[in-house]
Amino acid sequence: MLRTILVTLNDGKMVIISFKMDPKVSNENEYKIATTKIELFLRKGFANLSADETTELEAISRTVSSYEKEFYPLPAPTTIAEMIELKMYEMNLNQKKLAELLKIAPDKLSLILNGKRSPDARFLKSVHQQLGIDAVFLLNHI
């Protein structure tokens, strides 16, 4: 089933987009079309989306996310610092908030993340417990 909607952007411009109710992205062209549709919804603003538009945005976003995981995978972290930075991104933490969560001084965290200080057992235990980083990964990368 093809759905056509009129999207009014914040700048007042109106754009007509058409798409399937259950979008599937199976190639690069469909990926570009889907990301353009997402961009149009985002330009309109979350607060300005109707319930139907919000549902469509969520469906397209899930499809794009699945495609990206398959065709644009992020490289796996290879160091403790990279793994911590990934977790910081996932949890929306800055270094100050992370230091508070781990109950360590911000200076110590900065030194460890920049490779100027080796992580101690207390730090590794805290990272494992608070961030859910696999203990085997931590032990293999110290």
Percentage of the chain beyond pLDDT 90 is 55
Terminal Cα distance for the chain, rounded: 54
Q: Residue 7: which pLDDT band, with cuts at 50, 70 and 90?
A: low
Look at domain 80-140 and name its CATH class. Answer: mainly alpha
Categorize the per-residue pLDDT at 10 as very low, low, confident or very high, splitting at 50, 70 and 90.
low
Q: pTM value?
A: 0.57
Residue boundaries of the structural domains of the chain: 2-71, 80-140
Task: Report how far apart, in Å, the C-alpha atoms of 133 and of each of 45, 47, 82 are.
Answer: 35, 36, 11
| pLDDT of 77 over the 70 cut | yes
pLDDT given for residue 17 in this prediction: 66
Q: What phi, psi does 18 have (nearest 5°)?
A: -125, 140
